[in-house]
Amino acid sequence: MNIYRFELKSNFKSFLVWVLCLSFVTIGYMAFFPMIHDSIGDFTKMLNNFNPILKDAMGIATSTFSTAIGFYGFVFIYVSLMMAIQAMNLGIGILSKEERERTADFLITKPVSRITIVSSKLLAALTVFLATDIIFSIVTYIQLSNISDENVLKPYLLINLSLLFIQILCFSIGFFISTILKKIRAVLPISLGIVFAFFAISRFLINDDNKVAKYFSPFSYFDTNKIIKDNTLDITSVVVFAAVVIVCISASYVLYHRRNVHSV
């Protein structure tokens, strides 16, 4: 039994729904930019009257909001929230579903090692994320290039690369959680709770004065406004991201290998 191909097939419908919904939502939001740009003076005055804390929570930076890529950076915050839900949901569910659907005994008794099972599921999840990001990036860049007078390819690719990092990070955390919880009867409530907690932390509890606190939420690792300004990703955030992913995935291998898997 090819576990990798089976996982791709079983996740294809949800992948298609996610990528279509995300693309249409982003296109819908970006369609407002030409109207905002035409009256950017009045719009900027209105934004300047907002409480700075509220603007930070909403991800609004008046210095970049008047540009197409800056407006995309604002929309991206909520796109990353939706994609993080997809990643966390897949991370928690891709292993735990074997016990929840009572197929664990069948899988474990096959002539494949537990390492092969975990590796196949990880590779399938990574394929889903890559496919989602590639299709999403192509579709939204076509629209972005049509409404932008500037060359925005490099910052756009960097922002979307950070999106892939957020997905992988949320997936890794969810994957690790699935190996430490004995019984997961419903995946969505757990994944929603964790992702929204991370999002709330990034929006309301983290500021520039605390350089360490931002690493407690995947959403604060990469600041879209700084990516647009500097045209690069923060190296420290990339290193911390890699470290967290390696620790979570390595721990998941160890815990699943030692786990007493039940089919009920």
pLDDT band at 264 (very low <50, low <70, confident <90, very high): very low
Determine contact, residues 98/104, Cβ cutoff 8 Å: yes
Residue with tokens 């890794």: 172
Domain contains 264: no
Q: How far is CA 24 from CA 29, 182, 206, 207, in A?
A: 9, 38, 30, 32
Domain count for the chain, please give it: 1
For 159, the domain range is 3-258
CA–CA distance, 205 with 199 (Å, rounded to integer): 10
Q: Token digits for 121?
A: 């599921």
What pTM, to 2 d.p., does this model score?
A: 0.87
pLDDT digits (tens, 9 = 90+) for 72-110: 988 898 899 999 999 999 999 888 776 665 555 555 556
SS (H, E, C) 40-76: HHHHHHHHHCCCHHHHHHHCCCCCCCCCHHHHHHHHH
CA–CA distance, 171 with 121 (Å, rounded to integer): 12
Domain contains 122: yes
For residues 63-97, one letter each, b for 16 or more C-beta atoms within 10 angstroms of the residue's C-beta and e for the rest, the string is ebbbbbbbbbbbbbbebbbebbbbbbbbbbbbbbb
Q: How far is CA 47 from CA 55, 90, 207, in A?
A: 8, 37, 20
pLDDT digits (tens, 9 = 90+) for 130-160: 999 999 999 999 989 888 878 889 999 999 9
Domain contains 88: yes
Domain contains 110: yes
13 CB-near residues (< 8 Å, 6+ apart): none
pLDDT at 167 over 90: yes
Domain contains 263: no
Q: Would you state the pLDDT for residue 198? A: 93
Domain contains 103: yes
